[in-house]
Amino acid sequence: MSKYIYFFGNGKAEGQSSMRALLGGKGANLADMASIGLPVPPGFTITTEACAKFYEIGEGELHKLLSAELDAAITRLETATGKTFGHGANPLLVSVRSGAAASMPGMMDTVLNLGLSPETVQAMIARTGNPRFVWDSFRRFIQMFGNVVLGVEHHRFEHELAAVKDKVGVKLDSDLDENALQEVVARYMRMVRKETGKDFPVDAREQLRRGINAVFGSWNNPRAIKYRELNDIRGLLGTAVNVQAMVFGNSGNQSGTGVAFTRDPSTGDNRYFYGEYLINAQGEDVVAGIRTPNQITLAGSRAWARSQNVSESDRKRNYPSLEEVMPEIFKELDDVRVLLENRYHDMQDLEFTIEDGKLYILQTRNGKRTAAAAVKIATDLIKEKMIDEATAVMRIDPASLDQLLHPVFLKSAEAKAEKLTVGLPASPGAAAGRIVFCADAAEKWSKSGEDVILCRIETSPEDIGGMHVARGILTTRGGMTSHAAVVARGMGKCCVAGAGEVDINYSQRTMKINGVTLREGDWISLNGSTGAVYKDKVETENPKLTGPFATIMALADKYRRLGVRTNADTPRDALQAVAFGAEGVGLCRTEHMFFEGERIISVRRMILVAETVKQLKAQLAAAGSAAEKAAIERKLAAPLKQYNQALEELLPLQREDFIGIFKALKGRPCTVRLLDPPLHEFLPHDAEGQREMAKRMDLKLSEVKRLVESLQEVNPMLGHRGCRLGISYPEVTEMQTRAICEAAVKVKGSRPEIMVPLIGSVKELQEQKAIIEATIAAVERENKTKLNILIGTMIEVPRAALTADAIARETDFFSFGTNDLTQMSCAFSRDDAEKFLGTYVERGIFEYDPFTVLDQEGVGHLMRIAVEGGRKTSPNLKMGVCGEHGGEPRSVAFCHDLGLNYVSCSPYRVPIARLAAAQAALRKREG
Ligand code: ADP
Ligand code: MG
Ligand code: MG
């Protein structure tokens, strides 16, 4: 028979701190604190296994299983406290508290003061001689039990309470006297009967049974489910239930309650003991904000007073610290602080209650903290010799580092700002700028030195230029994976998406938010970490990459094996990434700058004639007679001229791009991907653009239209793209290779690597490689120099992964393009999958969105085949990942385990990847 209940109290405990999974974090730590003699009220923990049973067999059957153990535990608790449950002269009251293995503060339910009834109320009054306190406890109990167990809405109780307060003319709950509280109880009882159709249960055993059920039930309340989803808490059995003897912070002015952090949870500072307390109150009052609590320490109290403009004399009289009011209790609590930190080697968040001048500790856990506090605390704990370096590295959530990399609002400024609405926090950071409603305006304004916020109903690929120059992006439609959100995160740019209360009118260039009308040029500010939109300019500051952050990053570098590169297409991004610790560029997309200024004209010129040139050249080669040849040559002349002109125009532009990036990289390697996207993405689809091309190319408009239409594809992602373009139009590969090589000649010490995209067959690579090698040789000859350029390929088509052993013979490196590889191996179109992937993840068909977290089972398996195949023919083949997975901690760990050489990710995820790589290495070491 399993054991479902673990007792703790009076210096002993059946459980211990290592039993979190079974007892929950709260239960395990209560047991631990009890066992080392801390003043913890006695109690017992019903295990998470019982919770699983609750869901499996239902509450009736569960209580049959529990009944004998529960009876024994209550008897034991009665003995430990010298009280009796539900009757007698000295009634035992308990709290029934939730607590899972992962801390989920405030998400599940707890009931206090359980065991009260008209009978026990009278006994307690007789015993304590303090009727006010007893009636206060009873009304609290009816309220909590009524809400949590009986499902009576909170505001019903508030309504009754307010009515009595009004009647007797007091503002605070704590000002209600015995008679008033008795009336509150009577009104509560009547209201509950009306709401539920039944009398409030007065039998203590029944109360307990139903309390336990409600706490188990709260494991699956919508709030708790959402919290687990957001924090990616998985694989737990459920919550434990802690039944614990009550201690009373509400029994008078020698009593009180509070919450404290052993270090500052928002900055990590360790200057004093951070916490708040209330005199004559129960625990939930502090959190619920019923009264404003005071600071625990004198130093904290003074700092608070300064920030609130409260004079020292006012502070002393009206807001004194616990240190001043109860110096002995404070001393004892401060000793507990030191003891707990030394025991758990981490910042603790603890709850305490003082009953008639005696201190009790009710909870301790590793405190939640901001990323800034996390790095500060971890590095401080190393210095204090509480933890070693590896532990510090493991303590930081890599994804949270993102918070530290973006500009932030000055706290004081944000507090004062006028909030207009709140959208989705799509990409973190803070941004202030003038409103513009289209990408063109964004570019124009920013050229003249203005900070702009691009406000769109939604964004599309044509807006990239405008998004790039904007300080922040606001959209009224779309979710966390909308174009705006994805691109903004990639750029490390602040973005608030899907702000539905914003009504944009493009033609009038205005937007309305909750009655406020804003025009183009007006200032707004966005908080991408909370989704808040503010009127006017809120002041920001740049984050500091020094101090504890730098220390943690240095440690990460010390322990990781995996290299970290970045995906960058511009010198600016490359510089940013290097500042974040990137060791080179793992993916430089050559087409990225094709949209800029005049370039698009050249690109369009090239694309529009490329196919004609190709076909005529083929005809020419097959032509028999000289006359036939001459006729074809005549036809070829004009398009060929356009084609060559376009290539000649693009060559120096691309070369300059590469020179800029190579310079920024200062000798670090740079993997350049040859032209990849389907051509029609660059074509003029609008009449104006087509007219312009007709003029520039001296063609009829109808001819341009025809060419554009001929390039349309039914399924472009599987169409004429990637190396297929280079195979069709070898001159483009040649031009791009030449631009790379000539840039390498110009920038001494640069280390370009040329990467051929979308290979499925080794023969594709062989063909492209021949062109690349010939071009390298030509540039070397022309410049009388030797270039050291690697030639590699992407592995992103399943066929390439399966035939990697053959491909490996022809290549210096593999770079896994996990976006396309996911798309093609799952047959999920990246542009359409959003419609159903949400459901897939909800149902558990896929554990995570495979475009965000690498699908190890499927896509990862293909990668493993490719790694093994590749290493078979070329044991030292360099292998890496480019694609957004390269900055996602779980995927990074997988790449580490696979034995890849590096990951490459967007600049703002470089620190995340560095830390995730270190954690993967350390986990391997431990495991
Ligand atoms: P949460 O997870 O919401 O913090 P808890 O179970 O910790 O829920 O309890 C809510 C509040 O009630 C806390 O302030 C806690 O300290 C207080 N509390 C819980 N059990 C007792 C008890 N036995 N005696 C006095 N206060 C208690
Ligand atoms: Mg708590
Ligand atoms: Mg690709």
262 lines ligand 1 (CB under 6 A): no
The reported pLDDT for the residue numbered 597 is 77
Nearest-ligand number for the alpha carbon of 822: 3
| Residue closest to 545 by CA, chosen among 267, 918, 911, 915 | 911
Nearest CA to ligand 1 atom 20: 95
pLDDT in tens, 727-767: 999 999 999 999 999 999 999 999 999 999 999 999 999 99
H or E element, residue 363? strand 358-366
364 lines ligand 1 (CB under 6 A): no
Query: Rounded to the nearest whole angstrom, what is the distance from the C-alpha of residue 134 to the centroid of ligand 1?
Result: 18
842 burial type by CB count under 10 A (0-12 exposed, 13-18 middle, 19+ buried)? exposed
The more confidently predicted of residues 267 and 86 is: 86
State the DSSP string of 43-69. Answer: EEEE-HHHHHHHHHH-HHHHHHHHHHH
45 lines ligand 1 (CB under 6 A): no
pLDDT at 1 over 80: no
The reported pLDDT for the residue numbered 7 is 98
Q: Is 308 helix (H, G, I), strand (E, B) or coil?
A: coil
Q: Report the range of poorest mean pLDDT among 265-274, 770-779, 907-916.
A: 265-274
Q: Report the range of poorest mean pLDDT among 115-119, 222-226, 883-887.
A: 222-226
Confidence of residue 598 (pLDDT cuts 50, 70, 90): confident
The span from the CA of 525 to the CA of 404, in Å, is 19
State the DSSP string of 818-832. Answer: HHHHHHHHHT--TTT
Pocket perturbation via mutation, ligand 1, pick of 23, 241, 362 by most ligand atoms within 8 A of CB: 362
Which tokens is 870 given?
């590749």
Pocket perturbation via mutation, ligand 1, pick of 112, 257, 360 by most ligand atoms within 8 A of CB: 112
End-to-end CA distance of the chain: 32
Question: What does the pLDDT average to over 400-407?
Answer: 84
Instruction: Give percent above pLDDT 90 in the chain.
Output: 82
pLDDT in tens, 61-105: 999 999 999 999 999 999 999 999 999 999 999 999 999 999 887
58 lines ligand 1 (CB under 6 A): no
Set 455, 882, 895, 905: catalytic member: 882
246 lines ligand 1 (CB under 6 A): yes
239 lines ligand 1 (CB under 6 A): no
Q: What's the chain's average pLDDT?
A: 94
109 lines ligand 1 (CB under 6 A): no
Query: Atom of ligand 1 at shortest distance to CA of 94?
Result: 23
pLDDT at 609 over 60: yes
Query: Rounded to the nearest whole angstrom, what is the distance from the C-alpha of residue 706 to the centroid of ligand 2?
Result: 70
The reported pLDDT for the residue numbered 708 is 94
Pocket perturbation via mutation, ligand 1, pick of 45, 96, 113, 351 by most ligand atoms within 8 A of CB: 351
Nearest CA to ligand 1 atom 18: 283
Query: Atom of ligand 1 at shortest distance to CA of 248?
Result: 25
The more confidently predicted of residues 127 and 266 is: 127
110 lines ligand 1 (CB under 6 A): yes
The reported pLDDT for the residue numbered 429 is 84
Beta strands (DSSP E) in 380-493 are 408-409, 419-422, 424-427, 430-436, 452-456, 472-475
Query: Rounded to the nearest whole angstrom, what is the distance from the C-alpha of residue 208 to the centroid of ligand 2?
Result: 19
Which tokens is 827 given?
């047959």
H or E element, residue 795? strand 790-795
What's the DSSP call for residue 734?
Answer: H
Nearest CA to ligand 1 atom 13: 283
Question: What does the pLDDT average to over 374-383?
Answer: 97
244 lines ligand 1 (CB under 6 A): yes
Nearest CA to ligand 1 atom 14: 283
Nearest-ligand number for the alpha carbon of 244: 1
Nearest-ligand number for the alpha carbon of 883: 3
The span from the CA of 74 to the CA of 70, in Å, is 6
363 lines ligand 1 (CB under 6 A): yes
Question: What does the pLDDT average to over 355-365?
Answer: 97
Nearest CA to ligand 1 atom 24: 246
What are the residues whose beta carbons fall under 8 Å from the beta carbon of 143, sequence distance 6 or more?
A: 157, 161, 188
The span from the CA of 452 to the CA of 473, in Å, is 9
The span from the CA of 54 to the CA of 483, in Å, is 43
Query: Atom of ligand 1 at shortest distance to CA of 259?
Result: 14
The more confidently predicted of residues 625 and 407 is: 625
Query: Rounded to the nearest whole angstrom, what is the distance from the C-alpha of residue 32 to the centroid of ligand 1?
Result: 17
Query: Rounded to the nearest whole angstrom, what is the distance from the C-alpha of residue 767 to the centroid of ligand 1?
Result: 71
Instruction: Give percent above pLDDT 70 in the chain.
Output: 98
What are the residues whose beta carbons fall under 8 Å from the beta carbon of 266, sequence distance 6 or more?
A: 369, 370, 372, 373
The reported pLDDT for the residue numbered 107 is 82
pLDDT at 481 over 60: no
Which tokens is 488 given?
């903004």
| Residue closest to 382 by CA, chosen among 555, 622, 528 | 555
Query: Rounded to the nearest whole angstrom, what is the distance from the C-alpha of residue 349 to the centroid of ligand 2?
Result: 9
What's the DSSP call for residue 927?
Answer: -
Question: What does the pLDDT average to over 796-819?
Answer: 98
27 lines ligand 1 (CB under 6 A): no
pLDDT at 45 over 80: yes
The reported pLDDT for the residue numbered 432 is 94
Query: Atom of ligand 1 at shortest distance to CA of 105?
Result: 2
pLDDT at 195 over 70: yes
Query: Atom of ligand 1 at shortest distance to CA of 247?
Result: 24
Looking from the CA of 690 toward its CB, the CA atoms found within 13 Å total 14
Query: Rounded to the nearest whole angstrom, what is the distance from the C-alpha of residue 172 to the centroid of ligand 3?
Result: 64
pLDDT in tens, 444-474: 999 888 999 999 998 887 788 899 899 999 9
Confidence of residue 304 (pLDDT cuts 50, 70, 90): confident
Query: Rounded to the nearest whole angstrom, what is the distance from the C-alpha of residue 248 to the centroid of ligand 1?
Result: 11
H or E element, residue 360? strand 358-366
Confidence of residue 405 (pLDDT cuts 50, 70, 90): confident
The reported pLDDT for the residue numbered 480 is 63
**CA dist 11 to 14, 33, 40, 376, Å?**
11, 8, 9, 34
Query: Atom of ligand 1 at shortest distance to CA of 245?
Result: 23
Query: Rounded to the nearest whole angstrom, what is the distance from the C-alpha of residue 888 to the centroid of ligand 3?
Result: 18
Query: Rounded to the nearest whole angstrom, what is the distance from the C-alpha of residue 411 to the centroid of ligand 3?
Result: 41
Nearest CA to ligand 1 atom 3: 106
b/e per residue 760-775 (b: at least 16 CB within 10 A): bebebbebbbebbeeb
| Residue closest to 49 by CA, chosen among 241, 226, 270, 307 | 241
Set 406, 468, 483, 680: catalytic member: 483
Nearest CA to ligand 1 atom 23: 246
283 lines ligand 1 (CB under 6 A): yes
Q: What is the pTM of this model?
A: 0.85
95 lines ligand 1 (CB under 6 A): yes
State the DSSP string of 796-859. Answer: -SHHHHHTHHHHHTT-SEEEEEHHHHHHHHHT--TTTTHHHHHHHHHHTSSSS-TTTS--TTTH
State the DSSP string of 582-637. Answer: --SEEEEETTGGGGSTTHHHHHHHHHHHHHHHHHHHHHHHH--SHHHHHHHHHHHH
Clarify whether 882 is annotated catalytic.
Answer: yes
Clarify whether 588 is annotated catalytic.
Answer: no
Do 409 and 527 contact (CB within 8 A), yes or no?
A: yes
CA 490 to chain CA centroid, nearest Å: 14
Query: Rounded to the nearest whole angstrom, what is the distance from the C-alpha of residue 111 to the centroid of ligand 1?
Result: 8
Query: Rounded to the nearest whole angstrom, what is the distance from the C-alpha of residue 717 to the centroid of ligand 3?
Result: 9
What are the beta bridge partners of residue 6?
A: 45
Which tokens is 813 given?
């490196």
Do 740 and 754 contact (CB within 8 A), yes or no?
A: yes
Nearest CA to ligand 1 atom 22: 246
Confidence of residue 884 (pLDDT cuts 50, 70, 90): confident
Nearest CA to ligand 1 atom 1: 106
The span from the CA of 881 to the CA of 816, in Å, is 5
